[in-house]
Each structure stands twice: as C-alpha cells, then as structure tokens.
Amino acid sequence: MINYDEIITFLEKKNSGADAVSRFKQAYYTFCKTSTWDPAYQVFVAGWQQLDGVMLLEPIDTSDSEYWVHLTTTTERSLRELLLAFPRRYIGLFHLKEKWIENRIHDVLEGDVIQTDAGSFYRGTKRGSSTSAEQRTVSKRKDAIVSHIRKLASLKGKLEHSQFIIEGHLIVERAIIDGLPVETLLYTSGFAVTPEGKALITQAASENLSLYQVNDGVMGSITTTRPVPSIIASVHLSYPNFLSESGILNFRFSPRCLLLIAENIGNPDNLGMTLRTADASGVPAVLLSGEGASPFHKNCIRASRGAVGRLPLFYTPDSGDAIDALRVSGWQVLGATASAKNQLPEMDFTFPTAIVVGNENKGLSTTARECCTELVRIPMASGQSSLNVGVAAGILLYELTRQYRI
C-alpha cells in the first residue's frame, strides 16, 4: 500500500517549493476528504528498504500529450524502475530537472526534448508502443523483419541496432509485465492457439506492440535454440559506459549506495546467475568489466530470470580505472578473493560500497586487487577453495544489505 504521507515528505525534501509537489499535496488533501483524486493522479514509487524514487503522472488536456510526468529519484535503479512503470501507448511530458535523467530516459522512451516557458521537457512514449505498431503474418525467411531479428543473434548486431533477443513464453511475458522497452514480438501459429498464447498476444496488442506470426520454419531460421521457442521478442539495449571520456563517473549514486562489479566472468550462465542474485539483493546497478561474457548472451538472459533489461548494467574495459574513479568519489571498494586476510563476518563496511567478484578460474585480476581499498574472503570449511561466483556474490551482497539495515 502506498504511504502518501511518506511520499510527500520525500518529495518536499528533494523538491522544496516545487509547484508540482504543491499541486500534488493539494490533490492529496482533497482525496483524504472525498476519497477521489482530482485531478486523477497516478503514483509510482521505487525502492526496497527505503523510498528511493517517486513518479507522479498528472493528467493534462492537450492534443499531443496525456500526462505531466514529475520524476524525483536518487539512484540509477530507482529511475529505471520508474521509467519502466510508465504505461505503454501514453505520451508524457517529463520535466528534465537533472542532466543524468535526460541521459538515461532514452534507454526506455523514444521522443524529443522540447523547450517551454516552464523549462526543458522530454516528450516521449515507451519504446515499441508508438502509433506505428504493425501486426501481420510472415511466411518468408527473407522478410525484412526476419532479417532484422536474425542480425541480433550476434553481439555486433545487438550493439549496432541497440536491441537484444529474449526467448520463450515466461521470459517474454515477464518482460511485458515488467514494462521493458519491447520493440517487436514474433510468435508461432501453434503458440497463438494456446490459452497462454492468446492471453499474451491480446495483452501485447492492447499495448500497441508490433506482432508477427511466423511458422516453425521461419522461427527456426532466426534462432539456434532447440527446441525452437514459440515466441521471441527484441528489447531495446541499454549498456552505457561507466566512465565518461574524461574519466569521470557516468553513474548516479546515493550516499548509501551498493554496487556490484563483475570482472571477466566468462561463463554466460554464471553471469546470468550473478545478475539474478544482484537484482534480488536490490543493488542499484552492476558494472561489468573486462572481456567476460556478454550480458545479452541468450544463456545469460535465461539464467538472469528477468534481471537483464530491468537491472541497470554498465560497462568498462578496465576495472582499475573504474575502481580508481570510485575511490576518488569516496567509495569503499572491496575485492573478494580467497587469499584475503580479512574475513567477511569481521569486516566493517562504510557506504557507498562496491564489491568486486572475479573470473571463475583466475579470480580477481592483479590490477583489481591492487586498486581495491580492501580485500575480503568468505570463510569456508576445508575441502573447497572457492565458491561459484554467483553464490559468492549473493553471500557478499546480502551481508552488506544486512549491515545496511542495522
């Protein structure tokens, strides 16, 4: 249940004197007396252990937009959660009060920045749900949409077109429910006659997503997955650099932020498990460094169980540069390695904190170990020298999360 008093306190603290907050307060007081919102606000919140972000949708009566959108958010994750919650098909005018929000809004929405007497606004709608949605049957492997989706099988194609592929009913359904910027869906004729297929197709159509029915042969030509999935979708890809060209952090964080750095994770299944764990622990973002597996590999996407696309992911070719930039910004950076003297239960943590986990076989690179503020190990009984990287990340993150609550 939404705590509106907590929301108002949060908004006033972050937007003291803002007209939007004053209007919302007045609407809330009216709601308390009448049990009716006037105007009919929609309110979305983000945050797990504490309130990290609020999005107010205030109806407006114009010919080209449905909502004034007031975003107040503190972290990368809270911003992405709120943008993903913005309903498809609707056009919003997002007040751009901070540059970092303007930089990220394109990852989920498509539109343009416009200037008004009230300031700078982004007029946009959820990617994939514009008025140009298409629904048709595709029977030829050389069809333009089939050729486009086939290109997304390679990492080069994904990066060139800023899209990645998800496969299977459960993952596609979750992507739609989570509000991911789904660009296109392809499904087989067999899937279309099943109860779950009918429900998913109906929902996708109601949200104005492009839908293409294909036969098994066409679907099999698109993907190497066997058995051939009955439905696949392309999703807009977001994978910004962690550092700017000048070496400054391209990452928004709060004073009590927690970041996971995954260095050179080679196995896409292990990477997916690590991302799933990070997502569940509530980290604001994950930084992937080095030459490990791509987070957009189909095995990683499957193992992440929805984390890829929902959880903010950043990239850096060199973990040392990223760790140095974090340290300059006041971060504690802990490297997880079995050779460390410090044991996890004995560590005192200060926030913001980053945890670095390394390659499954080689562990942390020499550069990462030398750049971290401290090294830490997970105590283990005799017989094993290391843990699966996803398991290790989970233990580390949940210990920090526990201390965060103390």
Most confidently modeled range among 93-102, 190-199, 387-396: 190-199
Peptide bond into 345 cis (omega under 30): no
Three-class SS of residue 124?
A: strand
Q: What is the pTM of this model?
A: 0.94
- Please give the mean pLDDT across all residues of the chain: 92
The pLDDT assigned to 364 comes to: 93
Domain 258-405: assigned CATH number: 3.40.1280.10
Of the CA atoms within 13 Å of residue 194, those in its CB half-sphere come to 11
| For range 130-135, the mean pLDDT | 83
Q: Which of 24-33, 166-175, 269-278, 336-345 has the lowest mean pLDDT?
A: 336-345
Q: How far apart are the first and last CA of the chain?
A: 24
Site of tokens 């017989």: 383
| Edge-to-edge strand list for the sheet holding 182-188 | 135-138, 210-214, 182-188, 231-236, 163-167
Query: Tell me: the pLDDT tens digits for 139-188?
Result: 999 999 999 999 999 999 999 999 999 999 999 999 999 999 999 999 99
Whole-angstrom distance, CA of residue 342 vs CA of residue 328: 23
The pLDDT assigned to 116 comes to: 78
Whole-angstrom distance, CA of residue 24 vs CA of residue 277: 36
Give backbone dihedrals phi and psi of 321, rounded to 5 degrees, phi first.
-65, -40
Q: Residue 259 — very low, low, confident or very high, per pLDDT cuts 50/70/90?
A: very high
Indicate the domain borders of the chain: 4-126, 135-236, 258-405
CATH of 4-126, one of 3.40.1440, 1.10.10, 3.40.50, 3.40.630: 3.40.630
294: its two tokens: 């791509």
pLDDT surpasses 90 at 190: yes
Q: Residue 17 — very low, low, confident or very high, per pLDDT cuts 50/70/90?
A: low
Query: Tell me: the pLDDT tens digits for 50-70?
Result: 899 999 999 987 778 899 999
CA distances from 144 to 82, 148, 184, 204, 212 (A): 33, 6, 13, 21, 12
196: its two tokens: 């779950």
Q: For residue 339, with 0-12 CB atoms within 10 Å meaning exposed, 13-18 middle and 19 or more buried, which class applies?
A: exposed
The pLDDT assigned to 14 comes to: 86
- The DSSP 8-state label assigned to residue 295 in this structure reads T
CB 257 within 8 A of CB 282: no
Domain 135-236: which topology?
60s Ribosomal Protein L30; Chain: A; (3.30.1330)
| For range 300-325, the mean pLDDT | 96
pLDDT surpasses 60 at 406: no
| Residues ≥6 apart with Cβ < 8 Å to 173 | 196, 200
CB 312 within 8 A of CB 372: no
